[in-house]
Structure 1
Amino acid sequence: MSRSLGERLARVVSANIGTIGGEARVEPLEQTDWASVTFTGARHRLRVTLDGEGAVGAAGDFLDKLPDLDLPIPGHIVADIAFVAEERGDNGRYAVLDLEALTIEDR
């Protein structure tokens, strides 16, 4: 499983974050190979950092649409993505979201 898969997943997630008056970045933190009897894939942990005016609102909007996101990655399917932790601060100008995702190879 390619390490760049986590980076591609981070780019696709980043493309789905709403506009804020500041910076938004998505970093792949961890990728672990995963397999079942019928599928091969990877588990991922991502960190979404929003910094600037409207960061907390943008984080909330993103989390609202997270279950329905279409996250296309050629050769892979994002089978599951879930919110696992959050940190907020600076009077609504800073938010960090940790996500976990499962990708499977699309054969």
Structure 2
Amino acid sequence: MIHRPDPQHRLHRALVASAACHGLTVRMLTTHERPWSSATFTGCRLTLDVAIAGGDPADWLAALPEEDLPVPGRLVADLVVTHASAARATLAVLLLES
């Protein structure tokens, strides 16, 4: 049996890679997930609390909502930084099944 990472893990890997491009490291602190659906799409809403190290994350966090994060089997339909400081951030993400 092949183990496939869950969508949260895939999103985390995409965030780690994105942050690394800005010289930062990201560590997931907490994750809250709830199902989401519309007439045509299904997915989940995630709230992620992350720790950020390695420098000032302001530029990365400002660019993150427009970044095309590669999450295999999913589409990041919306990403909002709801809280940010020098060492932590809270992200609200709508992740759709593709």
Relative to the length of structure 2, the TM-score reads 0.81
| Greater than 4 Å deviation, 4+ residue runs | none
1:18-57 map, 5 Å: 18-20=22-24, 23-27=25-29, 29-52=31-54, 54=55, 57=56
Cα RMSD for the two superposed structures: 2.1
% of aligned pairs identical?
A: 35
Contiguous gaps of at least 5 residues in structure 2: none
Deviations 1:5-24 (A, max 9, x none): 1121111111101214xx53
Q: Does 1:105 pair with 2:97?
A: yes
Q: Tell whether the 8 Å contact from 1:7 to 1:27 is kept in structure 2 after alignment.
A: no
What SS does the corresponding residue of 1:16 show, helix, strand or coil?
helix
Q: Tell whether the 8 Å contact from 1:24 to 1:48 is kept in structure 2 after alignment.
A: yes
Q: CA deviation at 1:25?
A: 1.6
Partner of 2:84: 86
Structure with higher strand content: 1
Contiguous gaps of at least 5 residues in structure 1: 89-94
Partner of 1:96: 88
Relative to the length of structure 1, the TM-score reads 0.75
